Structure 1
Amino acid sequence: MTSEHTFTLKQERRLVTEIPGPRSRELQRRRTGAVPPGVGSVLPVYVAEAGGGVVVDVDGNSLIDFGSGIAVTNVGNANPRVVERVREQAGRFTHTCFMVTPYESYVAVCEALNRITPGDHDKRSFLVNSGAEAVENAVKIARYATGRPAVVVFDHGYHGRTLLTMTLTAKNMPYKHGFGPYAPEVYRMPLAYPYRWPTGPDECGPQAAAQAIDQITKQIGAENVAAVVIEPIQGEGGFIVPGRGFLPALAEFCRANGILFIADEVQTGFARTGDLFACEHEGVVPDLVATAKGIAGGLPLAAVTGRADIMDKVHPGGLGGTYGGNPLACEAALAVLEEIERGDLTARARRIGEIMLPRLRALAERHPSIGDVRGRGAMTAIELVRPGTKDPDPGLTSEVARRCHEAGLLVLTAGTYGNVLRFLPPLVIPEHLLNEGLEILERAFDAA
């Protein structure tokens, strides 16, 4: 699984101090005097190096990385190809603003996105800085192109922290609480959540789609809806894979009613799920796609890609931003796309899923607190509940995560109820580290 990759860091878990160690604790003390508490961190170990499947902290501990900076370092942290392209670009120029004097790498990234995103229609792309900015611009474009005000989103969805994307996001705490009033003309519909659908997972997709379409038609009016915005697999909401048939039914409804289908592929994009984009799993071709996270190996970059007839409607100067498509980030993105293709990282993501999902299902058989195992490729999760019920158990979730962290495995939590452990290993993680991480997770459950 890793024969094609050469790592600059030794690919091993190594604990030389407690987690977090003394230097990390000292930096944390400095942080409390400089950074507001509203900026949280999953695990206060301060990073010195990272690469492949490990993160090395300032105390010399080497932790197995099942987070990838929240699905950002898909090609591995400090990927040599990315580093070299960025280094060369930094020596030429670091910024001009594409809206002032443009440059080739921006155009090349847009050409690549137009080529690889779902659908063989004529497309256009433009570049911004973050996933939230991409989603917000996709909605702007949809409203401009359709002349309609309403936007439909779904239960458990997460789309960002700006005013509009915070409004689109479902979860109150910590993302929305106290930050209102929110943006108008945003309507939330039920999601096809197989584990929690009242009649069970088999009929979840068609039933949820019918319910959502009925509510849109009756409560908003399809003729008033500019866009439906959805994550093909929900991220912060708990890695919920919508019931089969849900996404295609929504896309068909949108096509029939002049509504633009916006796929938020911010967390799912760039080979993470075993396809280049998660929409491809059910053959859904969105009108607009928002991408970010895995696009540039850790440099801030995001994009909106869409049908040319839609994207070309916006007047000159209506889209842009000072830093959007920074030349360093563009070179990084071109390197990432090369790495995905040369390393066949979609296949690697599928291989990761083939290893993780059976192990997680076996763990669930031993531990009735695991109510659901789900995901695709290298985007997997387990949902924790009180045994014999579907009542969320966020306390146990936090306890298992804490034990993993102490043992040198970086894991993330998620979910509307705070009861999901999500796993996002780099797609280049060595197989021995992947299996060792799963062993740590198993021991954490046994101990907890």
Structure 2
Amino acid sequence: MTDDLLARHQAVMPSWVTTYYGDNAIELVSGSGRRVTDAAGRTYLDFFGGVLTNMLGYDIAEVREAVERQLATGIVHSSTLYLIRQQVELAEKIARVSGIPDARVFFTNSGTEANEAALLFTTNHRRSNQILAIRNSYHGRSFAAMAITGHRSWSASALSPVSVSWLNSGERLRGRMKGLSDADHIDAAVEDLREVLATTTSGDVAALIAEPIQGVGGFVHAPDGLLGALKKELDNHGILLIADEVQTGWGRTGDHFWGYQAHDVQPDLITFAKGIGNGFALAGVVGRAELVNAVPATSFSTFGGNPISTAAGNAVLDYVLDHDLQANAARTGTILLDGLRAALGDTKIVGEIRGRGLMIGIEFVRPGTTDPDTAATMRVFDECRKGGLLVGKGGLYGNVLRMGPPLTLTEDEAREGLAILTEAIRTADAESF
């Protein structure tokens, strides 16, 4: 029973490994397409996809068959001390779609490890441990990744192996950038960068790491072109740019294959994870050869890029490209975003509806203010579950509903989810005062 499993979970797992829905935590036991079924037999439309990881959805034949073919060889693991055909083939594909000339790819198991590797490459290359990061960002749960995470509730330690200086986020509902036009926002951000470089660094900064759209931060994103404007200033100082595409990559934003492409910029390194494995542990870094090669010692990842995960990754990337899921993300994302804005314009608790493609956030506030309303967020969150829809939460104040449905979402499923969302929000809005 799920209740028994929850008690067992709480008895052996750390207290900080929490589950959604409190005492009503659910165990997912099967899935197909965009739907999952829990241990009680209840089926849900999934708009969160294992935190944007089940990018193609569930029980995808092409992925399952690719993994089964590799399993049938008996080689589940060999390490990179031996050639791994699946790994090389996937690296070739990723290098090709990255847009980076003479690219090299290093595979890891998670986005956290990918960002750690990117920090290693850039700090070695620049011979500096200074990093620029963005407020409200999230880059992982390891030592250095926490240090560059600008989100206090996700930073479990104040200790750090890097020296971090912080830039303003793309937050436009409140804060310093509130009310600015896109052009003024970009000008202010560039001026902020210049001031930070002049005041809180010794000049020889290694890199700026930035999410094109902040994931855990609540799908906050700055105006298009901002990273390109920042890169021009970074180039004046030889500072590298790392694009954290763990959540924004592989066509999820609809308009572009990579989130950075909205910014008229070419990063020096791109980190990727989550969706490329569609549930299998697969992540990595792709970047310029001189940077990725900047490791003056023997190093490898024991499980990163193993035959099973890269077999899945090859099938996932082929599926994304063959079925043009980027275009599908644009179509279905438009149904959701336009539908939400049309249906919820008169609600009191919705502060902002934002996003791009199938990366959508709804921020809830107390009526008549921009003050975060976590209670309303939880009410909507629970109402969605009751209506048969799984969504996520996030944001600096925990008041943002996050949605990252599988990129295979159909138009009918988008409308179905939209109806459940609208009803859940209107229910919570009617209770507000």
Range of TM-score over shorter length:
over 0.9
Q: Verify: 1:279 aligned to 2:257, yes or no.
A: no
Q: Verify: 1:176 aligned to 2:155, yes or no.
A: yes
Q: How far did residue 255 of structure 1 move? A: 2.0
Partner residue, 2:78: 96
Partner residue, 2:230: 250
3-state DSSP of counterpart to 2:363: strand
Confirm or deny: 8 A CA contact 1:77 1:298 kept in the other structure: no
Q: How far did residue 282 of structure 1 move? A: 2.3
Question: 1:143 is aligned with what amino acid?
Answer: T
Partner residue, 1:307: 288
Question: 1:356 is aligned with what amino acid?
Answer: L
Give TM-score scaled by structure 2 length.
0.94
Partner residue, 1:186: 164
CA separation in 1, counterparts of 2:13 and 2:423? 35
Partner residue, 2:240: 260
- In structure 1, stretches of 5+ residues that fail to align are 1-22
Mapping for residues 144-293 of structure 1, pairs under 5 Å: 144-173=124-153, 175-177=154-156, 179-196=157-174, 197-202=177-182, 203-221=184-202, 223-274=203-254, 275-293=256-274
| Identity, % of aligned positions | 35
Q: How far did residue 160 of structure 1 move? A: 0.4
Question: 2:20 is aligned with what amino acid?
Answer: V
Mapping for residues 27-426 of structure 1, pairs under 5 Å: 27-43=5-21, 44-92=25-73, 93-98=75-80, 100-119=81-100, 121-173=101-153, 175-177=154-156, 179-196=157-174, 197-202=177-182, 203-221=184-202, 223-274=203-254, 275-315=256-296, 317=298, 319-426=299-406
3-state DSSP of counterpart to 1:284: coil
- The Cα offsets for residues 368-393 of structure 1, whole Å up to 9 and x where unpaired, read as 21111111110011111112211111
CA separation in 2, counterparts of 1:413 and 1:154? 20
CA separation in 2, counterparts of 1:46 and 1:419? 24
Confirm or deny: 8 A CA contact 1:192 1:205 kept in the other structure: no
- The Cα offsets for residues 207-228 of structure 1, whole Å up to 9 and x where unpaired, read as 123212321233214x320000
Confirm or deny: 8 A CA contact 2:34 2:57 kept in the other structure: yes
Question: 2:229 is aligned with what amino acid?
Answer: A
3-state DSSP of counterpart to 2:19: coil
Partner residue, 1:20: none
Confirm or deny: 8 A CA contact 2:109 2:281 kept in the other structure: yes
Confirm or deny: 8 A CA contact 2:147 2:159 kept in the other structure: no
**Deviation larger for 89-98 or 201-210:** 201-210
Question: 1:176 is aligned with what amino acid?
Answer: S
- In structure 2, stretches of 5+ residues that fail to align are 429-433
Question: 1:156 is aligned with what amino acid?
Answer: N
Confirm or deny: 8 A CA contact 2:224 2:262 kept in the other structure: no
3-state DSSP of counterpart to 1:253: helix
Q: How many pairs are equivalent?
A: 420
**Deviation larger for 162-171 or 363-372:** 363-372
- The Cα offsets for residues 345-402 of structure 1, whole Å up to 9 and x where unpaired, read as 0000101221011112123312121111111110011111112211111111111101
Question: 2:50 is aligned with what amino acid?
Answer: G
**Deviation larger for 29-38 or 57-66:** 29-38
Q: How far did residue 201 of structure 1 move? A: 4.3
Q: How far did residue 316 of structure 1 move? A: 5.1
User: Taking structure 1 as reference, are residues 287 and 126 closer, same or farther at Cα in structure 2, changes over 3 Å only?
Assistant: same
- The Cα offsets for residues 74-133 of structure 1, whole Å up to 9 and x where unpaired, read as 1122211111111111121100111x22211111111111100134x1111110110000
Q: How far did residue 50 of structure 1 move? A: 1.3
Confirm or deny: 8 A CA contact 1:228 1:262 kept in the other structure: yes
Mapping for residues 422-433 of structure 1, pairs under 5 Å: 422-433=402-413
3-state DSSP of counterpart to 1:267: coil
3-state DSSP of counterpart to 2:352: strand
Partner residue, 1:445: 425
Question: 1:103 is aligned with what amino acid?
Answer: I
Q: How far did residue 198 of structure 1 move? A: 3.4
Confirm or deny: 8 A CA contact 1:95 1:326 kept in the other structure: yes
Question: 1:200 is aligned with what amino acid?
Answer: L
Question: 1:220 is aligned with what amino acid?
Answer: T
Q: How far did residue 32 of structure 1 move? A: 2.1
**Deviation larger for 207-216 or 77-86:** 207-216
CA separation in 2, counterparts of 1:109 and 1:89? 14
Q: How far did residue 250 of structure 1 move? A: 1.2
User: Taking structure 1 as reference, are residues 310 and 36 closer, same or farther at Cα in structure 2, changes over 3 Å only?
Assistant: closer
Confirm or deny: 8 A CA contact 1:66 1:426 kept in the other structure: yes
Question: 1:131 is aligned with what amino acid?
Answer: G
- The Cα offsets for residues 162-212 of structure 1, whole Å up to 9 and x where unpaired, read as 011011111222x224x3423341221212323322343432222123212
